[in-house]
A and B are shown apart, each in its own frame.
Chain A
Amino acid sequence: MTTKNFDVKRVYEEWGCLGKATAGYLRPTSGPCAWIGRRVDNAAVPKVTRCYHAATKARTVPSASAQSEFNSLAEHWLSDTRYLSSIQQMVIHPAYQRIIGMGIAAIPLILHRLQKAPEQWFWALQSITGENPAREQDSGRMNRLRTAWLEWGKQRGYSW
């Protein structure tokens, strides 16, 4: 579907938008995030002060293809590193590096996996976000690190 200014399908793919809360407001496929949207049906709308999609970028579940790629990389990494104790050896694995390379799009996917098991995603989360919500005294305590990052995700508005 194409409106005068943008391609709806492309917008949805790029932003991983679930489409419910956006009520037809779109972001252009290029241009600044502050660009004012337009309804899908081209009806006139009052101006809004910020772009909904920009505010929620990557905080929602990414596209099915991104999820599939992430899960494939994650399983490959887990399989190859199962007997390792070395964090450095684990995180240098090409699949793990590719996940870090996915950037913030990987965060809800990582949080989803962390919800299920205390896998070693803490290095990736620190690398992507530049943050570390864990307390120093919790170093090495995988369930406490997991809890700290899941709480961090909630506070930042991620859903997974």
Chain B
Amino acid sequence: MVRKTSEPTWEYNCIAWAFHEDDRWWWPDPAGISYWPKGVSREVTLDAFIAASETRGFEVCLNADNEPGFEKVVLYAKGGVPTHAARQLLNGNWTSKLGREIDVQHNTPEALVDEIAQLDYGRPITYLRRRRPE
């Protein structure tokens, strides 16, 4: 089940939201319009997105399972090209910001793209995790 949790806004996007930011748009555009961590390649590749996540303390992990003490992020890709990210909540559900539209919560990474046909995000492809603060 996918549930709306915010109003639409241009202020931030899915990548920002996955990394706990709600006041800027993250994306590796070559014109420098969007925020992207310094020192990380401005390329729309999984490697660049993983490198961006590493600047926030994440590392690649195996799956979306809810592991006590860890926070997880999932990257979606279509044809190997990153399109979207979602973040796992303490209760094991996931939160996503849909472009400039709303935030939603979904039970699994797959549920988002399975239940909203308009989303052209491809599939969940890479999982990341970091230790939650004590």
Q: List chain A positions with a Cβ less than 8 A from chain B.
A: 81-88, 117-120, 122-123, 126, 132, 134, 136, 139-143, 145
B25 is an interface residue with CB less than 8 A from chain A = yes
A123 touches B33 (CB 8 A): yes
Alpha-carbon gap, A143 to B10, bound state (A): 9
B contacts with A, residue count (CB < 8 A): 29
B35 CB contact (under 8 Å) in A83, A123, A126, A140 = A140
B29 CB contact (under 8 Å) in A81, A87, A118, A119 = A87
Chain A binding surface, main DSSP class = loop
B65 is an interface residue with CB less than 8 A from chain A = no
B15 touches A85 (CB 8 A): yes
B120 is an interface residue with CB less than 8 A from chain A = yes
Q: How many A-B residue pairs have CB under 8 A?
A: 76
B83 touches A142 (CB 8 A): no
Given contacts A82-B99, A85-B99, contact A143 B33 (CB under 8 A): no
Chain B 1-41 per-residue mask, 1 if CB under 8 angstroms from chain A, else 0: 00000000011011110000001111101011111100000
B119 is an interface residue with CB less than 8 A from chain A = yes
Chain A residues within an 8 Å CB radius of B44: 86, 88
Alpha-carbon gap, A160 to B17, bound state (A): 34
A139 touches B32 (CB 8 A): yes
A139 touches B35 (CB 8 A): yes
B13 touches A85 (CB 8 A): yes
B27 to chain A, nearest CB (A): 5
B24 touches A85 (CB 8 A): no
Q: List chain B positions with a Cβ less than 8 A from chain A.
A: 10-11, 13-16, 23-27, 29, 31-36, 44, 83-84, 98-101, 118-121
B119 touches A142 (CB 8 A): no
Closest-by-CB residue of A relative to B21 is A140
B28 to chain A, nearest CB (A): 9
Chain A residues within an 8 Å CB radius of B31: 87, 122-123, 126, 132
Given contacts A118-B10, A140-B26, A143-B11, contact A87 B34 (CB under 8 A): yes
B80 to chain A, nearest CB (A): 14
Chain B residues within an 8 Å CB radius of A143: 11
Chain A residues within an 8 Å CB radius of B32: 132, 136, 139
Given contacts A88-B29, A118-B10, A142-B11, contact A83 B23 (CB under 8 A): no
Closest-by-CB residue of B relative to A85 is B13
B26 touches A83 (CB 8 A): no
Alpha-carbon gap, A142 to B15, bound state (A): 15
A82 touches B101 (CB 8 A): yes
A84 CB contact (under 8 Å) in B23, B24, B99 = B99
